[in-house]
């Protein structure tokens, strides 16, 4: 071995890279360092530096700060050799192993691998180093291939195959289930999009109400597009549908024949998911969405022929563009008001409404709990920031930078909580007696004309399924009503 007989001892460094998995199996960095030091001592070399990369993947290490520091010492002749336990500890990538070798050759420095007994100071050592490096890369690719081959099998079994669970879900016991905190927000995303039909509008509403993504960031139209297109929410988890591009910087879709779907517990109905997806698909195809609602029953009024009815410019009537059937705006509102009164006064419908409203209330109560928990967390975090500031551990600028987003979101949540609670109050009809229900119905019919447009529209959005205008009657179908012949509430249509 060269440099053994030189008057000055050879200056070398020790390279320590032990993965987290290796550490768990008892291969501590201390053991590797001691082995390298004893080898250097036996050779009469002087250990000048130790380079630590504990817990770092060997897939790519050239850009790691310790790797850069080591190469700088090699170029400056501070060290003329590097000792490491085995090739896989230096790097697992053949390209990087060869790059290390070339860099050391240029600087007339040596790579010493204890496990493979390689010293690149000799021609035989350099040849062996190249061969073993290629074998290490081959082994790594073999492992990767085996992992890829197992993915479809594990996906079909519904097991976790890596990566985070979709927003609204969590992995528990290797199975996907709705997350109690995120699921109500995921459901709200679809409900708002079905109403407003615009991703940016929904993102703004969610942000203003204080909702954030899993990472604490505001929702964006890009995030919403991904959530709305994800089938998991309707109970169909998609896996094995994408892979990394050759450059490893982004992802690309696999052929659809390789996609795997497994059933999971849904968060929303399939009908709501399909409604949102059709709107989203229309956006992608360049279809224009409807303008902001300017009439009470826009989006709810249908003609008996199946077409939507609209209020045309400078016209006081809802009109079908297909068959030209029409009904005056004022008459439809009057019929709706009377239908609402009848609905609330009917014991059968009140009972059915209670049952359905209880299910909706459960979702809204979870939203309330989520908002309350987040508000408590924000308050606690902000309090800690204040304590650090008062203790002199944070400057005024640092405190302001941390405090502002806390304060902004806390204000949003404080505005959102009363709104959610108000929605709950509206739905808690089952707490009312028959007399109180009748009184509410009478009051609503009496005061309907005093309500603002937004208040009326909110009531319509909360409880209306659709309104079908026929030749002789109008069917006003509410969401919370019993099925069967008795529920077919029709009003006689006034003469246009």
DSSP helix/strand/coil, 134: helix
Say whether both 35 and 142 belong to one domain: yes
Q: What percent helix, strand, coil does the chain show, rounded to 5?
A: 55, 15, 30
Given a cut of 70, whether residue 109 has pLDDT beyond it is yes
Say whether both 268 and 372 belong to one domain: no
CB 182 within 8 A of CB 214: yes
Given a cut of 50, whether residue 343 has pLDDT beyond it is yes
Does a structural domain hold residue 300?
no
Confidence of residue 8 (pLDDT cuts 50, 70, 90): confident
Q: How many domains does the chain contain in total?
A: 3
Say whether both 105 and 214 belong to one domain: no
What are the pLDDT digits (tens) for 290-308?
444 567 888 888 999 988 8
Q: What are the Cα distances from residue 71, in Å, to 48, 62, 75, 101, 126?
A: 14, 9, 6, 11, 18
In the listed set 124, 151, 178, which residue is the last one of a domain according to the structure?
Answer: 151
Domain range for 237: 169-284
Query: Is 0.95 surpassed by the pTM of this model?
Result: no
Q: What is the pLDDT of residue 487?
A: 46
Confidence of residue 50 (pLDDT cuts 50, 70, 90): very high
Orientation of helix 221-229 relative to helix 183-196, angle to 10°: 100
Say whether both 95 and 230 belong to one domain: no
Given a cut of 50, whether residue 482 has pLDDT beyond it is no
CB 101 within 8 A of CB 120: yes
CB 201 within 8 A of CB 218: no
DSSP helix/strand/coil, 352: helix
What are the pLDDT digits (tens) for 67-98?
999 999 999 999 999 998 887 788 777 677 77
Neighbours of 355 (CB within 10 A): 12
Given a cut of 80, whether residue 341 has pLDDT beyond it is no
Does a structural domain hold residue 164?
no
**CA–CA separation, 456 vs 451, rounded Å?**
6
Say whether both 265 and 345 belong to one domain: no
**CA–CA separation, 206 vs 226, rounded Å?**
16
What are the pLDDT digits (tens) for 112-165?
888 877 777 666 666 666 665 555 555 555 555 555 555 554 545 555 555 678
CATH of the domain at 56: 3.40.50.1390
Say whether both 249 and 367 belong to one domain: no
DSSP state for residue 259 in the 8-state scheme: -
In the listed set 251, 284, 317, which residue is the last one of a domain according to the structure?
Answer: 284
Does a structural domain hold residue 267?
yes
Say whether both 181 and 48 belong to one domain: no
Of 229-243, 338-352, 410-424, the least confident: 338-352
Given a cut of 90, whether residue 348 has pLDDT beyond it is no
CATH of the domain at 263: 3.90.1750.20
Say whether both 462 and 410 belong to one domain: yes
Of 14-28, 89-103, 184-198, 378-392, the least confident: 14-28
Does a structural domain hold residue 160?
no
**CA–CA separation, 184 vs 35, rounded Å?**
56
Say whether both 486 and 341 belong to one domain: yes
Does a structural domain hold residue 322?
no
Does a structural domain hold residue 302?
no
306 vs 486: which has the higher pLDDT = 306
CB 13 within 8 A of CB 100: no
Does a structural domain hold residue 326?
no
Of 224-228, 235-239, 260-264, 477-481, the least confident: 477-481
Say whether both 94 and 185 belong to one domain: no
Orientation of helix 270-284 relative to helix 183-196, angle to 10°: 50
Mean pLDDT estimate for the chain: 76
Say whether both 174 and 145 belong to one domain: no
Of 218-232, 312-326, 438-452, the least confident: 438-452
Does a structural domain hold residue 327?
no
Say whether both 258 and 345 belong to one domain: no
Of 249-258, 288-297, 352-361, 475-484, the least confident: 288-297
DSSP per position, 170-206 = EEETTEEEE-TTTHHHHHHHHHHHHHH--HHHHHHHH
**CA–CA separation, 254 vs 428, rounded Å?**
48
Given a cut of 60, whether residue 225 has pLDDT beyond it is yes
């Amino acid at each position: 071995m060269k440099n053994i007989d030189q008057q000055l001892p050879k200056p070398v460094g020790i390279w320590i890279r032990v993965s987290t998995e290796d550490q768990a199996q008892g291969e501590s960095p201390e053991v590797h360092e001691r082995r390298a030091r004893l080898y250097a001592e036996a050779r009469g070399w002087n250990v000048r530096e130790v380079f630590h990369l504990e817990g770092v993947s060997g897939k790519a290490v050239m850009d790691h700060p310790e790797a850069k520091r080591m190469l700088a010492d090699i170029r400056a002749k501070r060290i003329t050799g590097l000792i490491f336990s085995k090739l896989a500890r230096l790097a697992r990538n053949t390209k990087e192993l060869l790059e290390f070798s070339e860099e050391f050759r240029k600087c007339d420095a040596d790579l010493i691998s204890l496990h493979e007994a390689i010293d690149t100071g000799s021609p035989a050592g350099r040849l062996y180093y190249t061969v073993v490096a290629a074998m290490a890369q081959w082994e790594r690719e073999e492992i990767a291939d085996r992992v890829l081959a197992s993915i479809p099998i594990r996906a079909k079994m519904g097991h976790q195959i890596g990566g985070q669970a979709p927003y609204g879900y969590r992995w528990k016991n290797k199975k996907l289930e709705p997350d109690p905190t995120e699921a109500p927000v995921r459901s709200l995303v679809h409900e708002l999009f079905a109403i407003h039909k615009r991703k940016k509008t929904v993102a703004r509403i969610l942000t203003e109400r204080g909702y954030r993504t899993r990472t604490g960031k505001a929702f964006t139209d890009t995030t919403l597009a991904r959530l709305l297109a994800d089938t998991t929410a309707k109970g169909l988890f998609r896996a094995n549908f994408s892979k990394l591009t050759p450059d490893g910087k982004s992802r690309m879709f696999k052929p659809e024949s390789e996609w795997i779907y497994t059933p999971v517990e849904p968060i929303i109905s399939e009908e709501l998911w399909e409604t949102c997806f059709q709107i989203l698909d229309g956006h992608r195809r360049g279809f224009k969405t409807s303008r902001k609602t300017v009439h009470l029953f826009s989006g709810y009024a249908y003609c008996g022929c199946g077409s939507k009815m609209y209020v045309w410019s400078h016209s006081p009537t809802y009109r079908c563009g297909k068959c030209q059937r029409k009904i005056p705006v004022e008459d439809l509102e009057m019929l709706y008001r009377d239908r609402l009164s009848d609905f609330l006064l009917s014991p059968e419908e009140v009972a059915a409404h209670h049952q359905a409203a209880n299910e909706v209330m459960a979702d809204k109560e979870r939203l309330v709990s989520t908002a309350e928990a987040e508000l408590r967390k924000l308050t606690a975090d902000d309090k800690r920031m204040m304590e650090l500031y008062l203790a002199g551990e944070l400057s005024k600028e640092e405190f302001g930078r941390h405090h502002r987003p806390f304060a902004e979101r806390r204000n949003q949540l404080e505005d959102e909580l009363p709104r959610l609670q108000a929605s709950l109050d509206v739905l808690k009809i089952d707490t009312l007696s028959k007399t109180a229900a009748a009184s509410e119905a009478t009051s609503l019919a009496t005061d309907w004309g005093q309500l603002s447009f937004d208040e009326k529209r909110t009531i319509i959005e909360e409880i209306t399924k659709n309104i079908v205008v026929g030749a002789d009657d109008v069917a006003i179908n509410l969401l919370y009503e019993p099925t069967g012949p008795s529920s077919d509430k029709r009003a006689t249509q006034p003469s246009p």
